[in-house]
Structure 1
Amino acid sequence: MFENIESEWPLFFCYLILDYCFQGDEIRIKEYGEALEKVMVKGEDGMQFVPELYAVPPDQVDEEYKNPGCVERIALGRCPLLWAQSLYILGKLLQNNFLATGELDPLNRRLCSEKKPDVVVQVVILAEDADIQEKLEQHDIHVQTMADVAPIEVQPARVLSYLYTYLGRNEKLELTGRKSRDVGILSTSKLYALHDRIFAFTPQTLDLEQYYMGNDVALLANNLISDLAFLSNNWRHVLGRPTYTIIASNDILDHEKIPLAMITTMKKLKSGYINGTRVTLGNLNDFLSTSCVTNLSFLGSQEHGLPDRLNIQVEQYLNEHVMKRFNNKHSLLAKQVPRNSKTRRRMSVKGAIKKTRSIISIDQNDFLAANAASSSNSSQHHTPKGRTPSPEAGDTPPLWNMGATSVTPRTRVNSEAHYADTEVEELLTMLRESECLEEQGDILQYLVDTQGLNYDTGMMEEGQAVTVKDLLKVLYEKACQQKLWGLVRHTAGMLGKRVEDLAKAVTDLLVRQKQVTVGMPPANEHTITAPLPENELRHLIHVTYGDDESSAMLTQELLVYLAMFIRTEPQLFLEMLRLRVGLIIQVMATELSRTLICTGEEASEHLLNLSPFEMKNLLHHILSGKEFAISSVGRGNLSVVSRKSGRVSKKSQIDGFVGVKPDQLDSVTDDVEPDRQGQWLRRRRLDGALNRVPRDFYSRVWSVLEKCQGLLLEGRLLPHGLTQEMTSGELKFALAVETVLNCIPQPEYRQLVVEALMVLTLIAERNFVSTLGDIIVVENIVHKANQIFLEDQVRVNGDATLCCAKPKDEAYLKSSGGLLCGGAAFICQHLYDSAPGGSFGTMNYLMRATAEMLDCFPRDGQIDCSVC
């Protein structure tokens, strides 16, 4: 329609000029500049304007069609077109060197297509003192001390964080400046010039005062590799190389020796490559000319209008605080009263910390003890494949097996009522007498409960009064040095500490459409659906857990690990919409109880005393479904090690069911190792706790709702009307289904319900019937399947005849309080421990139960419901 009479836009001359300015092509700049000048319109005052377009006059269109190019186009539209005029001015500024291309492109996008050499990360290792330097030299690692790098000053990241709070601060405009305390690895990998001083900063993860996870050398070594890879991949278009500074301090020593993990990592750094990242290990002074140096010009004095003069408050901070480390007050908790003192102990506060913990309830503790005992004897019984022997009579079901019984977090015992006559002075004397950090922790916990953190103990240190909080800080540091991780986590929670980048970790989970819940289920969970500021998030977690500071800190820690995994291994989170951290903690404790064959209370203690690295390792095994074993590494510390996974019987008919991936199912055989009994019960518990569902589960449930009036789960209804309000792939619908499923407190029962729903989806998708009838009570299908299973067990004399299939009268059921085997929601544990497929599999029984329960199926003939 517009061929041969198209309008011409001077705007594109402006773009071409800018493009060649970025390319540095002076010939083309001149060529298009002259072309643009010819088509600009001169205003009355002589100003040059860029018109919107040039077009053929309406009355000469026919002539232009006949003879293209014969008609002179005229300027039409806006004049000037502000868009084009702005680009014209920018082009002039660039041509006259009033602007640099980098100022218009601060992210250096213009360079993204150019091939660049690999980033070489400069690594500097500094010894805190000559003693550490000598220990490193024994391993052929030659480093400088902090004193040797003068005039460069090396400081922790918290100093840089403080300096950045002045960025954007302006009292006249009432701008408060940067509030975040976090500084990323990209920021700490630069050198900073401040007048005549040069600063280098260690990464935030290495700040032992702020983050207790930095005291775990194995985790530090693991994170160092990740940090270097991140720098290599993200250090783009910045002048100079990144400089990663590490301080080898006395805090990392293990019995006066450099830990093996740190020595191994340092030797890899000397080789020039570490996990594919190019590095160069050297001295900080030698890297000064090749590093990226940033000027902290915003720290100039605004008060006197003198940018060259340092801000008075900053200068005072640097002079008074920058060189100070954590004030070591170990003498406060040093033994000062001899053993033969006449002071008499009239009380004991032992276990004060344990009373605050809510990971394992009393009922769950009893179950775990019985479960551990029964699992240790399981190989003594002859059972068919895929079956587990039943626990002994009287076993109590776990937390998630208590049916309608809700579990509330364990509340703090009112110690003040028990020990009202106890003198605080006696407690402080006991505190100074004790050489056991755990005992000191119990005493301080009691003092916090009864007196508060700010209670004046009457002690003096450097002329200042010492509070209970000061004593807690000392205990925290000593616990970090001795690697007592349970005590470290608890005291860190009491002191209100946080893990690094907590808000960022939660945001990383949320932006990947994963909701997060914190708190112990089922009655004390809080769902996080939107990013929160650091302080609000930390406050929410601590309020949710109440007095259980250990679990609150562990929750923060796990959130960071989950964010790490979702960034690097997103496949671990497939078909998981909600991450229930409290339930994950309980499952981790249960897995430790199963592996170590111990009670729930002992398992929770082992869990909280795992090092941060081993905690991360255990979480990865839980998410990936890998089998693991526990080994001791000395001094009571435990290590999580992988072991070869056993074989499972029968391939699951539902792709992706119970977390088994398709590539894993292809290699499944009928060979079952003797110690693999109980595997399907464990898988269902793990997947139920992780809220993992089969692939396309939610959209398939939508197809079921299309053919019935609703689905009833735990008294909660999913109505047919949802299909009219939402599409099958809509996240809102998936969350509605997930919310109903989360009302089921028992993970393994939840998974059987998911299997029942999958059976319904198979029927709906294959159009066996035109409609599924009215409201379907899904639990009835599961319980009917359990009934059919028990009938088959009687017929074949299976394992369930030892428990649920054994004839029992009503009086026995009332006296025992439930099933003999302790199955969740009155479902036999042997059904939970059955594979999904096969003639004795759960899917077969659920299919048969569905055929009997739904009125839409014919009753006059035999229905083939086997799943092959």
Structure 2
Amino acid sequence: MAKAALEAVNGNNVYGEQGAAWSVIYVDIDAHNRNRTIFETILPRESNSKNTDASLLPTICWPAFAIHEEPVKRQAVNKVIRKLKGNYGIKRFFRDGYMTELEDKNRKYYRPAEIKNFDGIESEWPIFYLFIMIDCIFHGDKEGAEKYQKLLKPLLVESPDGLLIPQYYYVPADKIDLEKSKPGSQKRLASPVGSTDGIFMWGQAVYLISQLLSDGLLNVNELDPVRRYLPALERPKFSARYSKFQGTPPDLIIQIVLIAESTRLQQLLATYGIQTQTPHQIEPIQIWSPKELTKAYEYLGVNKKLGLTGRPSRPFGVLSTSKIYRACSKTILCYPLLFELSDFYLAQDISLVMDDCKNDLAFLSKRWKLSGRPTWCMVIRENSIRGHNFGEFLDLLSQFKKGSVDGIRVSLGRLQSFISSACIEHLDFLHTLIDPGIFTKFEEKAVGSNFKSLTDIPSLIDIVEDGHVNKKDLLPRSTYDLCQMLRSVSGLTIQSQILEILYEREGPLYRTEGQTVEERLERLVQKAGAHKHWSVVRLCSALLGKLVDSLAPSVTSVLVRGKQITVGVFGHEEEVLDKPVGPNEIKTIIYGKCLPYDIRQAVLQQELILCLGKIIATSSELFDGILKIRIGWFVRAIEVEMEQEQGSAFDIHAISPHHVKEMMLTVLTRNTYEADIRTPFQKRQLDGALNRVPKDFYDRVWEILERTPGGIKVAGYLLPQQPTLSDMTMYELNFSLLVEQMLSKIVDPSYRQIMVEAFMVVSIILERNPELMFQQAVNMDKIIQEAYDEFQRDLNKSEGREKQDDMRCFFNTAPNVKHGTTGYIGKTVMRTLLDGDLRVTMDDMCCVS
């Protein structure tokens, strides 16, 4: 169902206001937001971003009205018109062979390279003029409606049945060559219509609707009774009992409720001026975990007679947990998934948790579209205030108290006082289906009534690491010796190394000191996390095969923006994630690719995927020019950045998850905005590791391929001219991915970036010299090698240096300067071109008349 329709029907009872509770329509606001984001993302926004399709017109205009962001809608409509409009209607899409004279009507498939035959002779459909015309009427554009009415008039066919609209117009067989040589020059013929051949009923129905609207015999509100064409704020409202969509108000205030898990914690925070409530103090209102809300919604739509099992057990996002629910005579507030206890270690990094809090608030301020204010519940546990981040944690709570968090307006107060202004949702479907006692509320932590002071919350005692011990030194020891050593050492690193060996040698269920290896690893994860010893945390978590929550949605967030993800350790084989996958499948892939080389990366790469999903959702422009996100190469990019900052080798596994996220933002932004601070080699290393390419890079590779019959060769991989050019078009995503597949054969980031620069040089030379082309397969590695050899010869003449085995000095040379890399590559390309035969046509030659 279209996004606008979901907004329109939320809370509507299909049997009227007196209908039963089971007939109310509920909309999952988080799923709705995901759908909205996906659709807005895939819309064509740039003229050269990807191919487009005429089916967008009835999707974003009447009858679906699937988007109300007017600038995005206009861009999409204008692109369809600019690229697909003809004299007889609008093409469905490029190289559409349907009902052309060259199409084999007896076959239901096309052979390889066959769609190239339909280029320029695609059938044109008048019906799409009607969709544009109707959209103009809906938006009061009388001039636009009259324009398309005039364009349509000569396309109608007179018949005994009246004026009929043909399904399509096609190029006759004897005019195909002329049309291809001069597009738009030939007269097209209408598809057969009438009593004998049948009427194009879909087109005729839309035509009649357009004429009724045009003549004033039909009102737009009669055609669209639920006002889907209007923004949510302007639509008529249904029952006030259910949450309603509206536009995001400019003065949105997010209501914040602080829930302390114990009275002891509440009193401690009060000494710093932070007022909280405990679960007992908000009764009869209950605090639920988001898992309990998921459990409740599983009963939505259950019907045993029809075999309906209800809503799938999918977690809810922050939009859904910011409502206040009434169910089973109870009032309920859910805390976000962010505060759910997890066996993954990210919750132990308070800095990351606080960062995620700000991200949640920023997301709410941008995406909240329901009537009433969002109510955001923060659960504070005693573990949150232990360690070195307590001051930073208090700073965030102080921002809540002041009423502003990074420019977002918030209001901190008691939950009871927020009810009247909150967004309320009634879960009426629960009343008759289940026993409400199956749900578990968040309980207050019992600490006893006789604690002596607020400092009873235990603090951490620093651990002194044992002397440096290498895992290789421990491997020769027997299992008995390792168990004895485990009893006597206190350092976290050596404990993790011993347990790793025992795990690999004896298995997770091997017992020592009354505990299994698996149990000891779990304890060590908690202890190392409390002491911020992240390398140990990651090693133990990977040995236990831990999987981070919400990893699958993060992968999907990246994929819907037209990117791909690869997982695998840098320098080793990778696996591409090009479609949404389930958590267990992701776990199998990540552990399978990382385990043989560096087990810690199995969890580190999960962190990065989670970060990527959050960053790309809020700052997708940081990924411009990056089509394939290679997680192992991202790890390498962060290591390169840290090594440059510290001047020495660096272990990424030793830094906190929050620091990893900061470094990811650093490598994404610095090369874009602060490129001058880097050497050419450093910049190439990072751009290569990020797989970043210039804006029109893939289009230029296409143009090179057009002038290279033998294809393009990179690192032993051949990209053939045919059937590539016949099966694909310049702007489609599949071609860009094919180019990325070719470049992925390169194993050195800086060399990859030089290769990208070499492609740009070749493209510019061919563009400026239309008479030249490559007569054989162009070997890009050979071009770079020859450019480097000449660079070395000149360097030897000017500075007396001997030839080096690697290209480091070449990579560290700026491109567009005197004796820069661009000049050397350009000379080599010209030599390669001139070594072959020149293609010269009469139009290229000078003539004297």
Structure 2 length-normalised TM: 0.64
Q: Deviations over 1:822-847 (max 9, x none)?
A: x2xxx3x1111000011210001111
Give the one of 520, 524, 527 matched to 2:569.
520
* 1:451 counterpart residue number: 506
Q: How does 1:472-511 map to 2 (within 5 A)?
A: 472-511=521-560
C-alpha separation between the residues in 1 aligned to 2:809 and 2:679?
A: 11
CA-CA distance at 1:482 after TM superposition: 1.9
Note closer, same or farther for the CA distance 1:414–1:260 as it changes in structure 2 (3 Å cut).
closer
Matches within 5 A, 1:354-753: 418-419=476-477, 421-423=478-480, 430-455=485-510, 459=514, 467-546=516-595, 548-599=598-649, 603-604=650-651, 607-625=652-670, 679-709=679-709, 710-721=711-722, 722-753=724-755
Q: What residue ranges of structure 1 are gaps of 5+ in the alignment?
A: 1-17, 23-57, 62-76, 93-99, 301-305, 328-347, 356-412, 460-465, 627-659, 669-675, 806-818, 860-868
In 1, Cα distance between equivalents of 2:298 and 2:474? 42
What's 1:842 paired with?
821
Write the distance in 1 (CA, Å) between the matches of 2:828 and 2:688.
22
Deviation at 1:414, TM superposition (A): 11
Q: Is the 8 A contact 2:699 2:730 kept in 1?
A: yes
User: What is the Cα deviation at residue 696 of structure 1?
Assistant: 0.6
- Over 3 Å counting, the alpha-carbon distance change for 1:481 and 1:196 in structure 2 is farther
Deviation at 1:610, TM superposition (A): 1.3
Partner SS state of residue 527, structure 1: strand
Matched, 1:128 2:261: yes
Q: Which moved more, 1:754-763 or 1:228-237?
A: 228-237
Distance 2:686 2:818 in 1: 24
Pick from 263, 268, 292 the counterpart of residue 423 of structure 2: 292
1:680 deviates by: 0.8
Q: After TM superposition, give the deviation of residue 596 of structure 1 in Å.
A: 2.4
Is residue 680–residue 833 contact of structure 1 (8 Å, CA) maintained in 2?
yes
Q: Deviations over 1:666-700 (max 9, x none)?
A: xx7xxxxxxx6x71111111111111112211111
Measure how far apart 1:125 and its partner are: 1.6
Letter in 1 for 2:721: H
Change (3 A) 1:481 1:179: farther
1: distance between equivalents of 2:393 and 2:583? 31
SS of the equivalent of 2:479 reads coil
CA RMSD of superposed structures (Å): 4.0
User: Separation in 1 of the partners of 2:731 and 2:427?
Assistant: 50
SS of residue matched to 2:347: helix
The one of 218, 230, 233 aligned to 2:363: 230
User: Residue type matched to 2:698 in 1?
Assistant: Y
Q: Is the contact between residue 205 and residue 500 of structure 1 (CA under 8 Å) also seen in structure 2? A: no
Task: State the partner residue of 1:160.
Answer: 293
Kept in 2: contact 1:144–1:283 (CA 8 A): yes
Contact 2:688-2:753 at 8 Å conserved across structures: yes
Matched, 1:310 2:435: yes
Measured after TM superposition, the shift of residue 768 of structure 1 is: 5.4
Paired position in structure 1 for 2:462: none
Distance 1:177 1:158 in 2: 16
User: Displacement, 1:707?
Assistant: 1.6
Alpha-carbon contact 1:204-1:500 (below 8 Å) kept: no
CA distance in 2, matches of 1:857, 1:559: 47
Query: Residue 804 in 1 paired to residue 803 in 2?
Result: yes
Please give the alpha-carbon distance, in whole angstroms, between the structure 1 residues aligned to 2:345 and 2:161.
81
Report the CA distance between 1:742 and its aligned residue: 1.0
Does the C-alpha gap of structure 1 residues 106 and 135 become closer, same or farther in structure 2, counting only changes over 3 Å? closer
Contact 2:288–2:440 (CA under 8 A) maintained in structure 1: no
Task: Give identity over the alignment, percent.
Answer: 31
Q: CA deviation at 1:192?
A: 3.4
Once the two structures are TM-superposed, the CA of residue 576 in structure 1 deviates from its matched residue by 1.4
Q: How far, CA to CA, are the matches of 1:843 and 1:719 in structure 2?
A: 26
Indicate how the Cα distance of structure 1 residues 124 and 742 shifts in structure 2: closer, same or farther if over 3 A, else same.
same
Instruction: Summarize the Cα distance change of 1:221–1:726 in structure 2 as closer, same or farther, 3 Å threshold.
Output: same
Aligned position for 1:45: none
Per-residue CA deviation, residues 37-81 of structure 1 (Å, 9 max, x unaligned), is xxxxxxxxxxxxxxxxxxxxx9999xxxxxxxxxxxxxxx99xx9
How far is the alpha carbon of 1:858 from its aligned partner? Answer: 9.9
Indicate how the Cα distance of structure 1 residues 60 and 254 shifts in structure 2: closer, same or farther if over 3 A, else same.
Answer: closer
- Hey, what does 2:454 align to over in structure 1? none
Q: Distance in 2 between matches of 1:454 and 1:245?
A: 40
Q: Tell me which amino acid in the other structure corresponds to 1:724.
A: S
Q: Quick check: 1:148 aligned with 2:281?
A: yes
Q: What is the letter of the counterpart of residue 283 of structure 1?
A: R
Q: Distance in 2 between matches of 1:495 and 1:170?
A: 40
Q: 1:89 Cα deviation (Å)?
A: 14
Aligned to 1:342: none
The equivalent residue for 1:331 is none
- Aligned amino acid, residue 697 of structure 1: F
State whether residues 158 and 181 of structure 1, in contact with CA within 8 Å, keep that contact through their aligned partners in structure 2: no
Distance 1:519 1:91 in 2: 53
Shift of 1:756: 1.7
State the distance in 1 between where 2:321 and 2:446 align: 20
Instruction: Look up the match of 2:200.
Output: none
Letter in 2 for 1:699: D
Matched, 1:250 2:382: yes
Structure 1 SS opposite 2:419: coil
Measure, in 2, the Cα distance between the counterparts of 1:589 and 1:614: 12
Distance 1:153 1:107 in 2: 20
Q: Which residue of 1 aligns with 2:776?
A: 774
Contact 2:321-2:333 within 8 A present in 1 as well: yes
Give the distance between the partners of 1:690 and 1:326, measured in 2 at CA.
50
Please give the alpha-carbon distance, in whole angstroms, between the structure 1 residues aligned to 2:509 and 2:438.
Answer: 27
State the one-letter code of the partner of 1:839. K
Q: Residue type matched to 1:215 in 2?
A: Q
**Secondary structure, aligned partner of 1:839:** coil
Counterpart code for 1:513: G
Cα deviation, 1:526-579, whole Å, max 9, x if unaligned, reads 001111122222222122212644211111111121222222222221121101
1:483 aligned counterpart, secondary structure: coil
Residue 607 of structure 2 aligns to a residue whose secondary structure is helix
Report what 1:189 is aligned to: 322
Aligned to 1:209: 342
Amino acid aligned to 1:566? I
Cα 1:681–1:89, aligned 2, differ >3 Å: closer, same or farther? closer
Q: What is the CA–CA distance in structure 1 between the aligned matches of 2:726 and 2:263, rounded to whole Å?
A: 74
The SS at the match of 1:144 is: coil
1:283 equivalent in alignment to 2:283: no
Deviation at 1:450?
Answer: 2.8
Match of 1:789 in 2: 791
Q: Is the 8 A contact 2:253 2:410 kept in 1?
A: yes
Q: What are the within-5 Å matches in structure 2 for residues 172-183 of structure 1?
A: 177-183=310-316
Cα contact 1:684–1:832 (8 A) shared by 2: yes
What is the Cα deviation at residue 740 of structure 1?
1.0
Q: Deviations over 1:575-606 (max 9, x none)?
A: 2110100111123223323432334xxx22xx
Q: C-alpha displacement at 1:455, in angstroms? A: 4.4
Q: How many residues align?
A: 600
Structure 2 residue matching 1:122: 3-state secondary structure: strand
In 1, distance between residues paired with 2:526 and 2:445?
12
Q: 1:855 aligns with which of 834, 844, 847?
A: 834
Structure-2 separation of matches of 1:265 and 1:830: 48
Q: Distance in 2 between matches of 1:60 and 1:783?
A: 72
Q: Is the 8 A contact 1:242 1:291 kept in 2?
A: yes
Aligned-residue offset at 1:248: 2.4
